[in-house]
Structure 1
Amino acid sequence: MNHFLAVFVFLCFIPTSQIQAQDVIWTTQSKNSSESMPVGGGDIGLNLWVEKGEVYLYLSRSGTFDENNTLLKLGRVKLKFSPNPFAGNTFKQELVWKDGYAQIRGSNIQIKVWVDVFTPVIHLDIKSKQKITTEASYESWRFEDRITKGKENNQNSYKWAPQGIIKTFKDDIAFKNNGIQFYHQNKPETVFDVAVKQQGLEDRKTNLFNPLKNLIFGGSMQGKNMIPSGNYAGTYLNTPFQGWKLKSKSPGLSEEITITLNTSKTEIPDWERELYAVNLNSNQKASIKWWNDYWNKSFIDISSKDERANQSSRNYQLFRYMLGCNAFGKYPTKFNGGLFTYDPQLTDSTLNYTPDFRNWGGGTHTAQNQRLVYWPMLKSGDFDLMKPQFDFYLNLLKNAEIRTEAAWGHKGASFTEQFENFGLPNPAEYGWKRPAGYNQGMEYNAWLEYEWDTVLEFCMMILETERYDHRNIDGYLPLIESSLTFFKEHYTYLAKQRGAKALDANGHLVFYPGSGAETYKMAYNSTSTIAGLKTVLERLIEHPSLPEGKKKEWAEMLQMIPPMNFRQFDGKTTISPAKVWERVNNTESPQLYPVYPWGIYGIGKSGLDTAVNTFKFDPDVLKFRSHVGWKQDNIFAARLGLTEDAAKLTTEKLKDSGRRFPAFWGPGFDWTPDHNWGGSGMIGLQEMLMQVDGKKIFLFPAWPKDWDVHFKLHAPYQTTVEVELKNGKIASLKVLPESRKADVKILIKQ
């Protein structure tokens, strides 16, 4: 297997930084798409590989949801050359991630693949030392309607409960303007209409936001010296496809191929006008500058005798590259593969489906997983990248409020744990076989019932962008306030259904039934809910532009939040996941959510011993511990200052994936490449290096002294901290603004 391993070279990174970039270099071709390399920019992701002398690219873009809410790929491109420059032993494929592009070299040929960060155009720049004939083909498996059966419906919103025959409808593909034009136009009837009817909201349908209606997405491919050259058919990994081919007018020394993409809610003539109006002559300099600025904004570079540590920092950077490819997406990066999924049978040999497949859906939002993709962006300073995730919730606010009012007659936005990109529960999770009279607002699902509180983490992220970067978040305040209102209104409503009193004997809300993540079900006063509400309310009250009347209202609600509960093991006091619960359904540890993300317990705070006891002695926490997928034990350990545990769990999480590209982890509990696996790894590494508490900045709270490191991370109040640690000593410390240096406390022993 040695010839499949990546070779890493050290190059000068960016003049303003000492960090060393480690470009990914492969010196042999790939077996198949699972050995592909991620390339992208703006909101476009490519899987790039060379197989049997031919160059392949999968095309993906944020927001390409079909009628069934599958996140469709935009096809596959194949490049073929005559004579074949890859017939000999000369081969090199390199991801130059500091500049955001990839290049492939063969005998006498160089192919540069890059995506314009600011314009939806993919560039394939080919240069040869001898005249060659180039064939550029567009391949599609959606050349005809395809019925999706069984587990294949896990790629859409019907999952295991399709109602009738489900089809992925064919695309329109044709030669046009000396190129190839391709698009998917959603049919008038979509899963939105099915869910609205299922959930009893047809009388309010015209008021609901529908992201799938009139949606068209696709693009065109053209070459400067290329003309249409016919069609062909084939099969790739059991999936039949048809191809449309462009060919050089005559052999030449260079070729420029561009693939322009367009996604729009409009009609075909307007979509085409938009597509062909895109400027194809963009200069790569602006995109390179964007990537250089991205890397200079923050980084973590470890140099250690411990190869696990070195892998962790390299893969941290590679995963952050993948996140940067959706910096300007209309939709957030999906936890279950992002823009870089590939043929599913290469992840699970039993799933012989098309490249459109990913487990856990395309337009379905699973909040517990998504949060881990976005939390690390605070310390990495990637505030712009967080906007698509925040806007996702904001765009669905009205739908969530309409749903609440229709089901229960009270105010507030009810965001379920797993919901669609139109704000309603996933239809399969909502349940088709529901008991007569079962409440309209409830999901009939053992894992998801009464789990409402993950939205609070996104509310907190929004509040934190104001604290970290002084962002104006006033436009998001209605989302935060409506999410809080739901808890007050709904649990008052439920209490009055049970009896005469809305509050308990101490004047507190009673959060029953509730849920501790997907794990502690039918919970009474779930700790994750209490910690989330308490923290978000405290932060909202501090918001400078909140009117005094509102501050008073939220301060009153804060007084109504009950205290957390505790239990003992071996005489040690630990945080309880709730006051009581009926069953354990999953393997999360929400009893440690007061540690992360809520920060109620941590370094320099009271009660730290109780939180450490929970990590060390709670039998469920011990039983559930793992580095796989969305597990966040590495983060808990770092937040608690448990250096040995944090180092072990974080390096396990961020070690090479076992696939050709080191950061293609998974499938874990979800899919490959597993983005909540990568995100939780990033968070753990950041928290080992730097933690914040108000204005306090703690450096190296859980850091092995023998790991040399140079890092730059962001802290609250528009602060950056850049540190070099060598041989256990601080070699340099740069804090901007300098006035914040007084707030820094170094915890590693000098």
Structure 2
Amino acid sequence: MKHLISMLCIGLCALTHLYAYTDDKDTVTVNYAAIAGAADLDYVRPVLRSEEGMPVGNGRMGTLVWTVPSSLKFQLNRVDVFGNSSASNSFYERNTDYCGGTGYMDVDFGQDVFTAPAFHQHLSCYDGLTTISGRNVSARGLIWEQEDVLALEINDRRGASLPVTTELRMLRMPVTRRGSHVATCKLRQEGDYIILTQEFREDGYYCSSALVAAVSNRSVEAEQNAATSIRLRTLPGSPEFTVYAATAASFDPSEDVVKAAIGKLEAARKKGFTALLNDNRDWWRKFWQRSYIQLHSDDGQADYVAQHYAWYLYIMGSSSRGKYPVKFNGMLWSTNGDERKWGHLYWGANQSCLYNALFQTNHPELLDPMFDMYSRAYDSYAVAARQQWGSAGIYIPETTGFDNTPVLPDSIAAEMRDLYLVRKPWEQRSQAFKDYAYTQMPFLSRWNWKKDEGWKDGRWRTGTKSNSTFGHVSHIFSRGAKIAYQYWLRYEYTQDTAWLRQRAYPMLKGVAEFYRNFPNVRKEKDGRYHIYHINDNESIWDGHNTVEEISAMRGIFPVVIKAARLLHTDSDMLPVWREFLDHLSPLPEQKENGKTTWCRSLLPVLQGNPSWHPDGNTMPVWFFDLCTLESSRDIQQTGNDTYDTYFDNGIDSTAGIYVLSKLPSTGALLGRPEAVQYLVTNQLRRRKNEEVLANRMDLSEGYQTTNVQRLGRAAEALQLALCQSVPAGPGQENVIHVFPAWPKTWDAQYALLCRGGFVVTSAMRQGNIPFVKLEATQGGVCKVHNPWNGAVALYRNGKKTQVLKGVLLSFATTKGEQLTLQQEQ
């Protein structure tokens, strides 16, 4: 516990230096180093488990850094290493596929040096640097921002110049076979490098990685002491030397990943550790200046929330800048090999925990890996819509691989449509279909009806979860709508018309056309379009007009219509989409005790309780801007009445909140300060008997799943409580609200990005809002909900230009203009 106490003390001490307010109402002084530094980790005792190590990464490659008495320990992971594709036929048993790892690295000093009380380890979030010290030994470590290189500067001050060994170890045996999948690991020495390579092959699939290590400023000799490891032993020499380790990966068999890794290593070695550190400091300094949140309350709760918010930003900055989004289950922080609970697939709901909060941080680069992955697979989503569902447009599954959705044989696709659309009895499926399905990955949405039954007589047995085509994620279509809506949000936050045309609009149109042409969407006698035989997230199977899917359609169609008008395209489709939207069934609801609340589904359903309130982990009505502070009074009343059904005893410090829950952010969207004061803090701490690791991460998804899902959810709620830009409905004009759900006893100052491209800076001091500053990054009309009662003075570039009145403040801006709003005296 001592290292935890020390870590907390360091964070609280840093927080005391955050605030530099003056008597001037609109003065903004920001100590970015202190804001980031509040999230630093500080251990005075070695952690007892590797999962509690300190994370360093550059968004593509990362590792936790931990110690055993004689060694520094690392597992070098990447976002672009996958043992198999989603077309694999070799991983039909759940949780057996793997991804991410390139190899272990140990730096061993030959005797116990990292033990208390001489031990100290610190992570600086402001520059991505970890420092470790022990008995007469110290080290500084980082992963270079420009290339995928770990650099470790060592100072060995022990009296005798003892050898230090750098060892690379395989994550598995040299050859591993599973079905037609083969994983091959090899070790070799080349010059002064030691090298560990991996190759994964299955039918036409290929992926490879290389991990290369070398030492500068000491002579070395290499030795392979075991089949699975190789060492560089330093010879006596200078007390100061540097260990470098570089990685590379590729899906191209013709690419030399060893050459690529050596090139990176040599680029780093040429610059030297000090220059690498300066590069990192420059990058992180710019990173922290893009946005910020600083908080304080007398009870320390606000400070605690701010610390975890900065930590969330550090983790995402360290892990989400590669070709693929970082995975929810382990991220770049696996320490015990590359097997992990839930395997290599991406769950949309879990990924949203990491990515939904990033829009307001003003870091679009951290969202790019997610968008890039989905855009690359667009054509395969179009094929899947036709093959699997007999629809048009695109189908993005809830669970998907990093790659394209596999193409099906025509005969299997035809039978799948009949079965999955409930046109053919499940018990009449053909033997050919059963045989084909047997080897498919059961976590993939289209095969998620499969149930593990274990090994018997040397054969893996599978059944069905419900004696039907339905499983937890088999008939979820709203994920595609949520992904497409995020493309739309990126446009709204950046006002990038090229993005809207090239990236967002195809997604929006593809999802809209999927719904409009879906065979189980029918116009009934009531004149409304209904949707049948679908899920409501994982809880309702085979539902009718589920809240997830009705919300998705009510969100997507207004924005695809608006996008088409902005782009002056598809004019012939506008009346078609409008007719569909105008006749779409309303959100499912129920009336009880004189109140109207939204529920999950209309009857009938195969499994689940249709009268339950919307899934607390997804909250689809609020995701699609269907209920906001700008909505009608009736909609807001229904939203608040629905929200109250989650908390029979009200909201206070005893309210437990699940890791994935969106209830804190939904409460913020409804303007409820208690959702932030209690739910956010409780979500960060987790529920009773649920563990939080010393590095503020957790293993909530099972083994090898070190993650920050709860931090992402809490960050989203925090931002929305401080500042939100919302429309009365999807595709309508956005209005900025400052401090819409903020506890009056918490002081705050922030700079966050709002829709329309406005960077909003404001503060609350003892319940008062002294100013609202806006930077119009793109120009255009800005609408702000008046944060004061009465008239408001508008300053443009420091000069008072007009006085605004009313509940809604609306004014024109030009690109790059700086504006300030203050209460008129």
Q: Does 1:710 align with 2:749?
A: yes
| 1-structure distance, mates of 2:323, 2:789 | 42
1:46 aligns with 63
The residue identity in structure 2 corresponding to 1:27 is V
Counterpart residue type for residue 471 of structure 2: A
CA distance in 2, matches of 1:546, 1:60: 45
- Correspondences of 1:426-437 after superposition (within 5 Å): 435-437=427-429
Amino acid at match of 1:463: W
Match of 2:163 in 1: 133
**Selected match of 1:504 from 510, 515, 524:** 524
Within a 5 Å distance, the mapping from 1:562-601 to structure 2 comes to: 562-585=585-608, 589-590=614-615, 593-601=619-627
Partner of 2:663: 633
Give 1:77 shift. 1.2
Contact 1:516–1:529, Cα closer than 8 Å, also in 2 = yes
Verify: 1:297 aligned to 2:290, yes or no: yes
Q: Distance in 2 between matches of 1:168 and 1:2?
A: 45
Alignment of 1:77 with 2:105, yes or no, is yes
Picking from 30, 41, 47, the partner of 1:17 is 30
The question of whether the paired residues in 2 share the 8 Å contact of 1:133 and 1:252 is answered with no
| Structure 1: unaligned runs, 5 residues or longer | 148-163, 191-212, 234-240, 344-354, 496-501
CA contact (8 A) 1:13 1:98 kept: no
Structure 1 residue 680 and structure 2 residue 713: aligned?
Answer: yes
Per-residue CA deviations over 1:609-641 (Å, capped at 9, x if unaligned) read 111111113699999x85122121112222122
Q: Secondary structure at the match of 1:746?
A: coil
Q: 1:176 aligned to 2:190?
A: yes
- For normalisation by structure 2, the TM-score amounts to 0.76
> CA–CA distance in 2 between the matches of 1:5 and 1:337?
26
Partner of 1:205: none
Aligned pairs for 1:231-246 (under 5 A) are 231-232=224-225, 242-246=228-232
Give 1:737's aligned residue: 776
**Root-mean-square deviation over aligned CA pairs:** 3.4
Q: Deviations over 1:472-501 (max 9, x none)?
A: 3222222332222111111xx235xxxxxx
Deviations 1:192-233 (A, max 9, x none): xxxxxxxxxxxxxxxxxxxxx232112211112342332345
Q: Percent identity?
A: 18
Distance 2:195 2:290 in 1: 38
Given candidates 354, 361, 364, the residue that maps to 2:343 is 361
Q: Is the deviation greater in 583-592 or in 604-613? A: 583-592
8 Å contact from structure 2 (residues 212, 245) kept in 1: yes
C-alpha offsets along residues 127-153 of structure 1, whole Å, 9 cap, x if unaligned? 345655322111223233457xxxxxx
Q: Report the Cα distance in structure 1 between the residues aligned to 2:129 and 2:59, rounded to whole angstroms.
A: 12
Structure-2 change in CA distance of 1:268 and 1:397 (3 Å): closer
2:420 is the counterpart of 1:403: no
Counterparts of 1:193-204 in structure 2, within 5 Å, are none
CA separation in 2, counterparts of 1:33 and 1:313? Answer: 26
Which residue type is aligned with residue 290 of structure 2?
K
Query: For residues 343-742 of structure 1, what are the structure 2 equivalents within 5 Å?
Result: 343=336, 355-362=337-344, 364-424=345-405, 435-437=427-429, 444=449, 445-471=470-496, 472-473=498-499, 474-476=501-503, 477-490=505-518, 493-494=519-520, 502-543=522-563, 544-549=566-571, 550-585=573-608, 589-590=614-615, 593-606=619-632, 607-617=635-645, 626-655=656-685, 658-667=691-700, 672-693=705-726, 694-737=733-776
- 1:537 is displaced (CA, Å) by 2.1
TM-superposed deviation, 1:468: 0.6
Contact residue 337 and residue 672 of structure 1 kept, 8 A: yes
Distance 1:595 1:478, change over 3 A: closer
**Alpha-carbon distance between aligned partners in 1 of 2:788 and 2:330, rounded to the nearest angstrom:** 37
Tell me, yes or no, if structure 1 residue 122 matches structure 2 residue 150.
yes
Q: For residues 352 and 640 of structure 2, what CA distance do their matches in structure 1 show?
A: 24
d(CA) in 2 for partners of 1:468, 1:407? 34
8 Å CA contact retained: 1:700, 1:748:
no
Q: CA deviation at 1:381?
A: 1.3
Q: TM-score scaled by structure 1? A: 0.83
Worse overlay, 113-122 or 476-485: 476-485
What is the distance in 1 between the residues matched to 2:308 and 2:607?
A: 34
SS of the residue corresponding to residue 729 of structure 1 reads coil
Distance 1:520 1:188 in 2: 36
Deviates most, 62-71 or 606-615: 62-71
Distance 1:449 1:747 in 2: 49
Structure 2: runs of 5 or more not aligned: 21-28, 85-90, 92-96, 409-415, 438-445, 450-469, 727-732, 791-822
1-structure distance, mates of 2:375, 2:648 = 35
**Which residue in 2 is equivalent to 1:201?**
none
Query: Which string of whole-angstrom CA distances, capped at 9 and with x for unpartnered residues, describes residues 515-543 of structure 1?
Result: 22111222211122122222222222222
What is the DSSP-based 3-state SS (H/G/I as helix, E as strand, rest coil) of the residue aligned with 1:126?
Answer: strand
Provide the residue aligned with 1:216 in structure 2. Answer: 208
Question: Contact (CA 8 Å) 1:420, 1:426: kept in 2 or not?
Answer: no
Matched residues in 2 for 1:708 and 1:614: separation?
30
- Between 1:242-251 and 1:374-383, the stretch displaced more is 242-251
- 1:339 is the counterpart of 2:332: yes
1:62 aligned partner = 79
SS at match of 2:319: coil
Sort the Cα spacing of 1:253 and 1:84 in 2 relative to 1 into closer, same or farther, 3 A. Answer: farther
Question: Which residue of 2 is the match for residue 287 of structure 1?
Answer: 280
Shift of 1:182: 1.2
Rate the CA distance shift 1:165–1:576 in 2: closer, same or farther, 3 A: same
Query: How far did residue 424 of structure 1 move?
Result: 3.5
Identify the residue that residue 2 of structure 2 maps to in structure 1: 2
User: Shift of residue 65 of structure 1?
Assistant: 0.4
**In structure 1, C-alpha distance between the alignment counterparts of 2:221 and 2:743, rounded to whole Å:** 60
1:373, 1:676 within 8 Å by CA — same for their partners in 2?
yes
- Of stretches 649-658 and 478-487 in structure 1, the one that deviates more from structure 2 is 649-658
Deviation of 1:735 after TM superposition, in Å, equals: 2.0
Q: State the partner residue of 2:303.
A: 310
Give how far 1:6 is off: 4.5
Secondary structure of the corresponding residue to residue 63 of structure 1? strand
SS at match of 2:397: coil
Displacement after TM superposition at 1:3 (Å): 4.2
Separation (CA, whole Å) in 1 of partners of 2:657 and 2:235: 54
Q: Secondary structure at the match of 2:164?
A: strand
Cα deviation code 1:393-428 (max 9, x no counterpart): 11222222222323454422222222223343899x
CA separation of 1:741 and 1:268: change in aligned 2, threshold 3 A: closer
What letter corresponds to residue 381 of structure 1 in structure 2? N
Partner SS state of residue 123, structure 1: strand
Please tell me whether the aligned partners of residues 63 and 77 of structure 2 are also in contact (alpha carbons under 8 angstroms). Answer: yes
Most deviating of 75-84 and 293-302: 75-84
Whole-angstrom CA distance in 2 between matches of 1:621 and 1:259:
54
Q: Secondary structure at the match of 1:187?
A: strand
SS in structure 1 of the partner of residue 101 of structure 2: coil
Conserved? CA contact 1:399–1:422, under 8 Å? no
Checking the alignment, whether the CA contact within 8 Å between 1:179 and 1:220 is kept in structure 2 is yes
Supply the distance in 2 between the matched residues of 1:306 and 1:120 (Cα, whole angstroms).
42
Q: 1:742 and 1:405, CA in 2 relative to 1: closer, same or farther beyond 3 A?
A: closer
> Which secondary structure state, in structure 2, belongs to the residue aligned with residue 717 of structure 1?
coil
